[in-house]
Structure 1
């Protein structure tokens, strides 16, 4: 599932960040911010207009992401209990 599809207040584990293009600067920046495999992530809230931006928590840090940016992050809700 994509991070942009995750229900609010549901914990998940990052599987990977998908590159839209070769040498994708946005995907690389998401990895630098902490969106790496095994990291716990949670969608906290969505903005009032067209549900953008998304407020996402990775570890103890919160980020505002565009829906298109969040769609690059693949997550799984199955292994959350093991990762925490």
Structure 2
């Protein structure tokens, strides 16, 4: 008996097995980026704990500092214990962000489809 597998199922299985996010099924966060890896900012989550009525002040401040969609970011280094804080470069400016702050920023990995 032969089993036929559709090509799109193979791609999904490869993504699940390797943890790659080439299909955009889950949001990749800036805090997940590895050292020396670059990405493009997709969006900054401005809601506080999923509550649409409250705006997150930290997220608003991140956008004011230059973390806006379409901007290229790179992780320069991470802290020794638990990777906190994370040194991020946006343009020619470097910022030290806590993991909690970096998790508010959704990114697209460079070379991956948008």
TM range (shorter): 0.7 to 0.9
Q: Which has the higher strand share?
A: 1
Please give the secondary structure, in 2, of the residue aligned with 1:50. Answer: coil
Bigger radius of gyration: 2
Match of 1:60 among 63, 77, 92: 92
Task: Mark the runs of 5 or more structure 1 residues left unpaired by the alignment.
Answer: none
Q: CA deviation at 1:79?
A: 5.5
Aligned length: 80
Q: What root-mean-square deviation, in Å, do the aligned CA atoms of Structure 1 and Structure 2 show? A: 1.4
Q: Which runs of 4+ in 1 moved over 4 A?
A: none
CA contact (8 A) 1:20 1:72 kept: no
Higher relative contact order (CA 8 A, sep 6+): 1
Matched residue, 1:40: 72
TM-score (norm 2): 0.66
Offset from partner CA, 1:36-60 (integer Å, 9 cap, x none): 0000001110112221110000011
